[in-house]
A and B are shown apart, each in its own frame.
Chain A
Amino acid sequence: GAVVSQHPSRVICKSGTSVKIECRSLDFQATTMFWYRQFPKKSLMLMATSNEGSKATYEQGVEKDKFLINHASLTLSTLTVTSAHPEDSSFYICSASPGQISGNTIYFGEGSWLTVV
């Protein structure tokens, strides 16, 4: 079964509104989670590293104020797309790892399809 779960799997929102996507580690604690974005027919691009209890680390070119990341607990990270626009429509996916106990295996969530209309 899934060890990393995302919610919602699909969301449609109106332009200008904000939408929150959750990423949960189900059977383990994750001090670090990663958020990726996949453009149509393109690869997954790392957006940011979510750090429990501290600020996220964003990749170059990713707007911090637009993509708010909160890692409030060891099992939950959230990505909030603020003031969404149609160009933010994409597939967002998170990953986490239990660390050395799992051989550093990385698990991905099911992904979240965001459509901004």
Chain B
Amino acid sequence: GDSVTQMEGPVTLSEEAFLTINCTYTATGYPSLFWYVQYPGEGLQLLLKATKADDKGSNKGFEATYRKETTSFHLEKGSVQVSDSAVYFCAVKNTGFQKLVFGTGTRLLVSP
């Protein structure tokens, strides 16, 4: 079945540092890829998504590019803020299905 592998956390950065959270996936067909964010005490929010190869999803300064050749969807941000501290989940969904398969999540801690 489909699966997602994320880098282990926590990732600890200082404010304004560059962020990369790695995500690779295995899936059949042509899946869509997602990054969700969970702030402390809250539910999941969609951060960005990409539906086909070479698509770049972006939102709130975060970016991720759908790389079919490396089956990756790494999350990046050029300059993190304290308010970005949260848990980030990479997820994959196959076409025509609503079921999401999540990675284990990566906790990001940003200090002032």
Q: Which residues in B have their C-beta under 8 angstroms from that of A97?
A: 98
**Contact among B43, B104, B107 with A108 in the assembled complex (CB-CB below 8 Å):** B43
Total number of residue pairs linking A and B with CB closer than 8 Å: 45
In the complex with contacts A32-B98, A104-B98, A42-B104 CB distance below 8 A = yes
Q: How many residues of A contact B (CB 8 A)?
A: 20
Q: Tell me if A93 counts as interface (CB < 8 A to partner B).
A: yes
B43 and A106 contact, CB distance less than 8 A? no
Q: Tell me if B93 counts as interface (CB < 8 A to partner A).
A: yes
Of the four ranges (under 10, 10 to 19, 20 to 34, 35 or more), the interface on chain B belongs to: 10 to 19
Q: Tell me if A110 counts as interface (CB < 8 A to partner B).
A: yes
A49 and B99 contact, CB distance less than 8 A? yes
Q: Which of B32-51 contact A (CB under 8 A)?
A: 32, 36, 42-46
Q: Which residues in A have their C-beta under 8 angstroms from that of B107?
A: 41
Interface string of B83-112 (1 = CB under 8 A from A): 000000100010000111111110100000
Report the minimal beta-carbon distance from A21 to chain B, rounded to whole angstroms.
13
B42 and A110 contact, CB distance less than 8 A? yes
Q: Which residues in A have their C-beta under 8 angstroms from that of B42?
A: 110-111
Q: Tell me if A54 counts as interface (CB < 8 A to partner B).
A: no
8 A–B contacts, CB within 8 A, in A order: A6-B43, A43-B104, A93-B43, A104-B32, A104-B93, A106-B100, A108-B45, A110-B43
Residues of A within 8 A of B (CB): 6, 32, 34, 41-44, 46, 49, 93, 95-97, 104-106, 108-111
